[in-house]
Amino acid sequence: MKLSSFIALVSCTFLLILAACGNENNETTVIKLAEVTRSLFYAPQYVALEKDYFADEGLTVDLKTTWGGDKTMTALLSDGADIALVGSETSMYVYAQNPKDYAVNFAQLTQTDGTFLVAKSPKPNFQWENVKDSIFLGQRKGGMPQMVGEYVLKKHQIDPQVDLELLQNIEFANIPGAFVSGDAEYVQLFEPTASVFEKEGKGHVIASFGEESGKVPYTVYMTKQSFLKKDPETIEKFTRAVYKAQQWVNEHSAEEIAQVIQPYFEDTAQDILVTSIDRYKNQQSFATDPILGKEEWKNLEDIMQEADELPTNTPYDKLVDTDIAKKIINEQ
Q: Is 45 left (phi over 0), alpha (psi -120 to 50) or beta?
A: alpha
Residue-wise pLDDT tens digits, 288-322: 999 999 999 999 999 999 999 999 999 999 999 99
Straight-line distance from the first to the last Cα atom of the chain, in angstroms, rounded to the nearest whole number? 58
All structural domains of the chain with their residue ranges: 28-112+216-331, 115-213
Report the CATH fold assignment for 115-213: D-Maltodextrin-Binding Protein; domain 2 (3.40.190)
The pLDDT of residue 27 is: 85
Per CATH, which fold does 28-112+216-331 belong to? D-Maltodextrin-Binding Protein; domain 2 (3.40.190)
Closest CA to 294 of 213, 215, 210: 215
Contact residues for 216 (Cβ-Cβ < 8 A; gap 6+): 111, 112, 113, 148, 296, 299, 300, 303
**Fold match between 28-112+216-331 and 115-213?**
yes
Model confidence pLDDT, tens digit, residues 49-107: 999 999 999 999 999 999 989 999 999 999 999 999 999 999 999 999 999 999 999 99
Q: What SS3 state is found at 84?
A: strand
Measure the CA–CA gap between 240 and 331, rounded to whole angstroms. 10
The residues of the chain scoring below 70 in pLDDT are: 1-26
Count Cβ atoms below 10 Å from residue 258 Cβ, excluding itself. Answer: 23
Q: What is the C-alpha separation between 221 and 237, in angstroms, rounded?
A: 13
